[in-house]
């Protein structure tokens, strides 16, 4: 009877080191009895680490997940005031979830947004992203410093293009090997469930036609799936399913974040972009010049066509996704195109300054926005067609009358 009166329950468990191999099956069996006795919802799990294990790499979370099947799980260091404060916010419904959209190179603006939030002492308790937004969200989820984020993202995406390993297009225009190598270099063997801040990302399942939510498993493999634009990079095959870029089905997963916790949802959306300018859909007049100027590193115009085609569905549901946020930040890095990897600094600065400007409009704490029923949404449309090339309105040409027949 008592179990039926419980709205929410938490379990606590010790962190497991790489050398620890405990038998937790009995704990799982005891929990199953509790659930069958009337506990209405699966409990959340708080995994408590000592200072040494928390400072190093968290491991073996999957052991507890398999045994206890919790709804959510959190990593807490017993001596960390920041971790304790995070759990207090989560339990009281004052947590903050950050959602980062896709957007190719424009997504570099997310770094500036994260840094501005940090400078404003706004905590980030949950993270999610789609496509390139998943990459940037993962850097924050691993608690990298600003300097480490900057160094690693520059090395992986800016100093040389990750998409210039052109291959014969049986499956995709690129081989994907450079991306694989860079993800392994920077994210290694990290498992999503072992990340210190709760994180998930999306990919699109072409086999089932559904959205795949990556909450556990290899981080780099999940990120690889989330950024695999169809036709540009080879898809990821996982458990017999074909996974491609998350932005194909959902570029801005704010509704999913809103269902993850009770607190504020902050969204940073860089998906808004003008449609393809027909002036850019041209065949290079000289291939030697095209290669000599380095334009080939961006890929031929077909790359822009394929990237836009693969993600155009997001323009239709973007307004609904934006509505799920409490605080919406929309950087508009002018002149930054989705494959313009060298525009990193411009995009980062745009994200930082836009976030600072948006925060200046608030009249209370970010952490209580949802509880107070307060939202801040810039009045910026989700999609604007590119009609700059239409210098003058179309005027139908005059048709000369046919000459009269003389006979």
Which residue from 178, 173, 161 is spatially nearest to 303, judged by alpha carbons? 173
**Within this chain, do residues 345 and 244 fall inside the same structural domain, yes or no?**
yes
Binned at pLDDT 50, 70 and 90, residue 394 comes out as very low
Alpha carbon distance 326, 266 (integer Å): 6
pLDDT for 393: 43
The active-site residue out of 44, 83, 194, 245 is 245
Tens of pLDDT along 206-262? 999 999 999 999 999 999 999 998 988 999 999 999 999 999 999 999 999 999 999
- Asked if residue 30 and residue 143 are part of one domain, the reply reads no
Task: For residues 166 and 292, state if they share a domain.
Answer: yes
Residues 175 and 271 placed together within one structural domain of the fold: yes
pLDDT digits (tens, 9 = 90+) for 354-390: 999 999 999 999 999 998 999 999 988 766 554 443 4
User: According to the model, what pLDDT value does residue 379 have?
Assistant: 81
In angstroms, rounded to a whole number, what is the distance separating the alpha carbons of residues 236 and 219?
13
- Tell me: pLDDT of 404 over 60: no
- Any domain includes 373: no
The answer to whether residues 38 and 145 belong to one domain is no
Q: What percent of the chain has pLDDT over 70?
A: 73
Total domains, the chain: 2
Q: Enter the pTM of the model.
A: 0.86
Residue 138: pLDDT over 50: yes
Look at residue 166 in the predicted model and tell me its pLDDT: 76
Q: How confident is the model at residue 132 (pLDDT cuts 50, 70, 90)?
A: very high
| DSSP SS3 for 75 | strand
Considering the domain architecture, whether residues 107 and 218 belong to the same structural domain is answered as yes
Q: How much of the chain, in percent, has pLDDT values that exceed 90? A: 58
Predicted confidence at residue 12, as pLDDT, reads: 92
Is the residue at 388 inside a domain?
Answer: no
Given 31, 46, 79, the domain boundary residue is 79
Looking at the fold, whether 20 and 143 belong to one and the same domain comes out as no
pLDDT band at 265 (very low <50, low <70, confident <90, very high): very high
For 34-64, how does the pLDDT look when each residue is reduced to its tens digit (9 = 90+)? 554 566 678 999 999 987 666 568 999 999 9
Q: What pLDDT was estimated at residue 351?
A: 98
Residues 99, 34 share a domain: no
Question: Is the domain of 52 the same as that of 125?
Answer: no
For position 358, which CATH number holds? 3.40.1090.10
To the query of whether residue 160 is one of the catalytic residues in this protein, the response is no
Q: How far apart are CA 163 and CA 172, in angstroms?
A: 11
Which is the catalytic residue, given 101, 130, 131, 350?
Answer: 131
Distance CA 112, CA 191 (A): 26
Q: Could you tell me which of 180, 223, 234, 229 has the C-alpha nearest to residue 200? A: 223
Looking at the domain assignment, is residue 102 inside a domain? yes
Q: Which long-range contacts (CB under 8 A, 24 or more apart) does 148-152 make?
A: 149/111, 149/114, 150/111, 152/186
Residue 66 maps to a domain: yes
Q: What's the pLDDT band for 318 if we cut at 50, 70, 90?
A: confident
Average pLDDT score, the chain: 84
Q: Would 88 be classed as within a structural domain?
A: no
148 and 69 belong to one structural domain: no
- pLDDT given for residue 18 in this prediction: 58
> Residue 38 sits in which domain range?
1-79
Active site residue 245: yes
Same domain, 111 and 65: no
pLDDT reported for residue 381: 75
The token duo for 387 is 């009609």
Q: Does 145 map to a domain?
A: yes
Q: Which stretches within 81-162 are classed as H helix? A: 81-92, 109-119, 132-141, 146-153
Residues 109 and 49 in one domain: no
- Do 312 and 333 meet the contact criterion of CB atoms below 8 Å apart? no
């Amino acid at each position: 009877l008592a179990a039926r009166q419980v709205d929410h329950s938490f379990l606590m468990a010790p962190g497991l080191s790489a050398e620890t191999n405990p038998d937790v099956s009995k704990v799982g069996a005891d929990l199953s009895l509790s659930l069958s006795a009337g506990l209405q919802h699966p409990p959340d799990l708080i995994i408590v680490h000592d200072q040494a294990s928390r400072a190093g790499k968290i491991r073996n979370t999957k052991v507890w997940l398999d045994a206890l099947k919790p709804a959510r799980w959190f990593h807490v260091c017993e001596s960390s005031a920041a971790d304790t404060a995070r759990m207090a916010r989560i339990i009281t419904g004052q947590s903050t979830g950050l959602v980062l959209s896709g957007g190719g190179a424009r997504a570099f603006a997310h770094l500036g947004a994260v840094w501005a939030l940090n400078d404003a002492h706004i905590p980030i308790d949950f993270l999610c992203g789609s496509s390139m937004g998943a990459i940037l969200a993962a850097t924050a989820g691993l608690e990298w410093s600003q300097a480490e984020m900057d160094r690693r993202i520059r090395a992986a995406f800016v100093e040389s293009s990750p998409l210039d390993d052109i291959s014969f297009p049986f499956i995709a225009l690129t081989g994907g090997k450079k991306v694989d190598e860079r993800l392994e270099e920077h994210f290694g063997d990290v498992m999503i469930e072992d990340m210190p801040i709760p994180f998930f990302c999306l990919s699109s399942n072409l086999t089932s036609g559904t959205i795949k939510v990556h909450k556990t498993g290899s981080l780099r493999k999940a990120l690889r799936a989330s950024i695999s634009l169809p036709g540009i990079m080879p898809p990821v095959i996982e458990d017999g399913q074909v996974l491609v870029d998350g932005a194909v089905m959902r570029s801005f997963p704010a509704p999913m974040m809103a269902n993850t916790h009770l607190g504020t949802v902050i969204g940073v959306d860089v998906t808004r972009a003008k449609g393809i300018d027909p002036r850019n859909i041209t065949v290079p007049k000289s291939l030697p010049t095209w290669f000599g100027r380095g334009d080939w590193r961006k890929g031929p115009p077909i790359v822009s066509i394929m990237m836009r085609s693969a993600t155009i569905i997001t323009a239709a549901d973007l307004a609904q996704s934006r509505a799920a946020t409490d605080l919406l930040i929309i950087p508009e890095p002018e002149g930054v195109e989705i494959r313009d990897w060298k525009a990193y600094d411009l995009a980062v600065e745009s994200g930082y300054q836009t976030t600072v400007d948006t925060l200046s409009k608030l009249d209370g704490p970010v952490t209580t926005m949802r509880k107070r029923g307060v939202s801040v949404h810039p009045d910026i449309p989700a999609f604007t067609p590119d009609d700059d090339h239409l210098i003058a309105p179309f005027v139908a040409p005059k048709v000369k009358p046919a000459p009269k027949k003389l006979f």
